[in-house]
């Protein structure tokens, strides 16, 4: 049966991100470990992290050491 509601539901845009980039790009140095924080190879995750930063127009330092990826976003300077 039809009903009256107060508002139209908000539409979700796309799917939610698989990884918590907002958290990891907060300016702190994050150590992310394969099989704990991500399930793909460290080399592939390195590229995904770099692309995630670029899509947010952020400068980011990334280093790979074995199965660990270290990320630190520069939150002071956003690229335009």
User: Could you report the per-residue pLDDT of 10-44, keeping only the tens digit for each?
Assistant: 877 777 789 999 999 999 999 999 999 999 999 99
The single-letter DSSP state of residue 20 is: -
Find the domain containing 25 and state its range.
Answer: 21-78
Within-domain flag for 2:
no
Q: Is residue 32 part of a domain?
A: yes
Residue 11 lies in a domain: no
Q: Are 28 and 72 spatial neighbours (Cβ–Cβ below 8 Å)?
A: yes
**Model pTM?**
0.75
Q: Is residue 6 part of a domain?
A: no
Residue 8 in domain:
no
**Cβ(48)–Cβ(67) under 8 Å?**
no
Residue 30 lies in a domain: yes
- Residue 27's pLDDT is what? 94
Number of domains in the chain: 1
């Amino acid at each position: 049966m039809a009903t009256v509601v107060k508002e139209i539901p908000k539409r979700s845009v796309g799917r939610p991100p698989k990884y918590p980039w907002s958290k990891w790009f907060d300016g702190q140095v994050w150590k992310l470990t394969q099989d704990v924080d991500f399930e793909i190879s460290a080399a592939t995750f390195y590229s995904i992290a770099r692309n995630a930063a670029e899509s947010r127009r952020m400068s980011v330092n990334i280093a790979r050491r074995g199965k660990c990826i270290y990320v630190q976003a520069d939150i002071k300077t956003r690229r335009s």
